[in-house]
Amino acid sequence: LDSRREGDPTRPATDRISQPAARTSPRPPRTTRATMPKPLTDQEKRKQISVRGLAGVENVADLKTNFNRHLHFTLVKDRNVATRRDYYFALAHTVRDHLVGRWIRTQQHYYEKDPKRVYYLSLEFYMGRTLQNTMVNLALENACDEALYQLGLDMEELQDIEEDAGLGNGGLGRLAACFLDSMASLGLAAYGYGIRYEFGIFNQKIVKGWQVEEADDWLRYGNPWEKARPEYMRPVHFYGRVEHHPDGVKWVDTQVVLALPYDTPVPGYRNNVVNTMRLWSAKAPCEFNLKDFNVGGYIQAVLDRNLAENISRVLYPNDNFFEGKELRLKQEYFVVAATLQDIIRRFKASKFGSTEVVRMDLTKLPEKVAIQLNDTHPAMAIPELMRILVDDEKLSWETAWDICVRTCAYTNHTVLPEALERWPIDLFQNLLPRHLEIIYEINRRHLERIGSLYPGDFDRLRRMSLIEEGDQKKINMAHLCIVGSHAVNGVARIHSDILKASVFKDFYEVDPQKFQNKTNGITPRRWLVMSNPGLAEVIAERIGEDFIRDLDQLKKLLKFVDDEAFLRDVAKIKQENKMKFAAHLEEHYKVKINPNSMFDLQVKRIHEYKRQLLNCLHIITMYNRIKKEPNKFWTPRTIMIGGKAAPGYHTAKMIIKLITSIGEVVNNDPVIGDRLKVIFLENYRVTLAEKAIPAADLSEQISTAGTEASGTGNMKFMLNGALTIGTMDGANVEMAEEAGEGNLFIFGMRVDDVEAMDKKGYNANEYYNRIPELKQAVDQVSGGYFSPNEPGLFKDIVNMLMNHDRFKVFADYEEYIKCQEHVSELYKNTKEWTKKVVHNIAACGKFSSDRTISQYAREIWGMEPTLEKIPAPDD
């Protein structure tokens, strides 16, 4: 392996790691991690260790042995040539060993018990990193930490080598990841199905204030967590034509792409359950056209394989925006076609499905299978299931439709019209001709029913049709999902009400029983125990550790809201997190910030409806006020904004440039000093969120009322002890209910106010002319104050704000500024601020994804969560 060592018989390969340089003494406490503010008793230390997860000191020796074994025999390296990345892979394989036995046993358990299975179909799974999350869920973290310390290695350094699995844009994909964690922790027989994108969400670089996209080649070093399953490869068909025969319909002359599954284990929290996320990768079939080969076309035939494999090449980096590209439709059908083949294969192979009776009668499918469509991206599951049941299984249309509707359920994630998928008929006709026929037949029967319920109401028929007429006929995929599902849900109460009252009002009037609400949640394992261990320890010391499985237990913290020692502990942990994040920014971003300032964060996708521009106007207003009265005491703030703009979204990219330009002026003004800093957090992603959110004092959730479906970042900030400034939008409404509106900073128009303004007309000039500070800020942006070398740089943004701002930034400006004044005033009083923090943390129980998934299971899937453990592999 190393030319200097080859042929040296005196150096046995297996002793390379266990050299004298390795440590044998126990690991001292980390100074970078949060510790208790007073000396710990032995009992408290055990509790602290228990929260972090220690599998027992006796495991340390085994872990070291297994680490050695993987370094030598999996990676074929020794200590002389191994890199830090090799050590990371050796550690990942060592931890994965603890998953595999549980993984196999879980699948055996499902086969024996034959429970109903839920299949969560999503084009996005924003998983982030896997190593630390797995160690937390398996109670291995401290044992691994100690083992690596004794080997002379640092676990935190190795964790930082892992690439984020950035297979999502933002909230929708991260929600899917949290749901997988909860489904495993609740013991549900669940499977996540998606695409194994070769390139995930792009890496964002900020160059001279502009966003520049770089490819996210997350697989370039391999992925130790996945297992290829070529034995379950499935064919997926495209193009071709449809033949109708007396004995049925045939889809012929198709082009075939193979779907190769890669399985990733998803561990539950310390219950020995390990579920599966199966991601499909596109592969070209092996056959070549011999005719082409004979005339010298072999090379081209091989090169053309790339066209098929492009299907799983890259994640579309669009959030809340529909782009009708053929490749995107291919992706959507690809994942659905492969997944449904897999679902039916598993059903037929199960104890329940393997009897001859059931093989002939798939009407039992809904009793054993639940399919959840995560937004409209997997909507093709409905016509594809119909095609399989009618064309392949030879069931009648009526029987197949009953099976389809009882099996499928649909979650809507947005009310923005530009986000709703509408596919051109011409594209379908070419790519999926049989499915177009099926959709037409679904629509014919659907409109027949509506016509019988509302005779002569042709406008209603037009509104409710799956096919939208116009210059270009289009298929409305949301309508397809509603008609083909037995349950339709929004993701926050206000969002679900909007769906019923406006977006899908016609459908709600026809089938009110279909519509439900399932307020989103987050997993407390990743977003508290893992990302904020100091706070988890402080909480566990007061109320025990049951909150990790049952977040409602946090309500017990209310009895400590006047306990000065507890308030000091919470404040101390926050300050330590801020110092740690400030050090991270200095090391990685070369930015020095004041850790004693208020950390004011707005981190999410850059989009007009999320109103980063309102935040910008507040920054400029603060800047102008400090300049005007430089001798007055101002509560110091570090305002951090992070997020990615879709590469083709010009306005979003200009917003990033504006933020960085404002920061350039503010941060270099000697009059301002440390009282105000503006930082753009480059390449915001799950891993950065895990560092930033525990450090935040203030969380900005300032979308226009009625535009944010739910939000989950707001919940993560709340759980980690940040206070929310926000509008009554999405889940903010329920957060205010749970914590008490007085413990959040609520401002701005409500949904009714926005609707009333829409009716009378929004006039930005009215606010611009009436509010001097707003006029000053807008004039500075338009006049080039923040872009002196290009005075007209931001004219498009100003023009949008003044003339066609759908999200009414100016209408909420005045209240927002007043609310921010209240925030600054309260922040001076640490005790009162921390009391509000405790009220917020104590109110987080509702926002656990465990609660969300329990409701999905009982009210949509017909399943019962369980807290029972599967026996460990060695039991």
Q: Look at residues 424, 348, 334, 316 and name the one whose alpha carbon lies nearest to residue 378.
A: 334
- Tally Cβ neighbours within 10 Å of residue 24: 6
Bridge partners of 701, per DSSP, are: 726
For the chain, give me the number of helices (H) and strands (E)?
Answer: 36, 25
818 is catalytic: no
Q: Look at residues 205, 199, 431 and name the one whose alpha carbon lies nearest to residue 334.
A: 431
Q: Read off the amino acid at residue 160.
A: D
What DSSP state is assigned to residue 595?
Answer: T
Rounded to whole angstroms, the Cα distance separating 317 from 765 reads 35
Cβ-contact 745, 817 below 8 angstroms: no
733-764 burial, b for 16+ CB within 10 Å, e for fewer?
bbbbebbeeebbbbbbbbbebbeeeeeeebeb
604 is catalytic: yes
Rounded to whole angstroms, the Cα distance separating 64 from 146 reads 9
State the maximum Cα–Cα separation within the chain, in Å, rounded to a whole number.
93
End-to-end CA distance of the chain: 40
Rounded to whole angstroms, the Cα distance separating 386 from 404 reads 7
Rounded to whole angstroms, the Cα distance separating 528 from 690 reads 9
716 is catalytic: yes
Cβ-contact 409, 315 below 8 angstroms: no
Q: Read off the amino acid at residue 120.
A: Y
User: Considering 413, 479, 486, 526, which one is annotated as catalytic?
Assistant: 413
Q: Read off the amino acid at residue 594.
A: N
Give 753-775 as a DSSP string: HHHHHHHH---HHHHHHH-HHHH
User: Considering 610, 637, 657, 851, which one is annotated as catalytic?
Assistant: 610
Q: Read off the amino acid at residue 727.
A: T
267-295 burial, b for 16+ CB within 10 Å, e for fewer?
bbbbbbbbbbbbbbbbbbeeeeeeeeeee
Bridge partners of 195, per DSSP, are: 280
User: Considering 94, 707, 712, 834, which one is annotated as catalytic?
Assistant: 712
Token pair of 749, please?
Answer: 């128009």
User: Considering 16, 549, 604, 685, which one is annotated as catalytic?
Assistant: 604
Residue 471 exposed, middle or buried by CB count within 10 Å (0-12, 13-18, 19+): exposed
User: Considering 406, 605, 611, 808, which one is annotated as catalytic?
Assistant: 605
Question: DSSP E strands: which ranges in 333-465?
Answer: 369-374, 408-411, 422-424
Rounded to whole angstroms, the Cα distance separating 588 from 601 reads 18
Helix spans in 590-682 (H): 612-628, 650-667
413 is catalytic: yes
Q: Look at residues 414, 211, 415, 423 and name the one whose alpha carbon lies nearest to residue 323.
A: 423
Cβ-contact 847, 719 below 8 angstroms: yes
CA 328 to chain centre: 19
Between the alpha carbon of residue 395 and those of residues 249, 705, 832, the distances in Å are: 12, 47, 66
Cβ-contact 51, 139 below 8 angstroms: no
Rounded to whole angstroms, the Cα distance separating 590 from 121 reads 41
301-314 burial, b for 16+ CB within 10 Å, e for fewer?
eeeeeeebbebbeb
User: Considering 716, 839, 846, 851, which one is annotated as catalytic?
Assistant: 716
Name the one residue in this structure whose structure tokens are 């429970």: 115
The C-alpha torsion from 789 through 790 and 794 to 796, rounded to 10°, is 180
Question: DSSP E strands: which ranges in 666-750?
Answer: 676-681, 698-701, 723-726, 745-746
> What are the residue numbers of the active site?
413, 604-605, 610, 712, 716
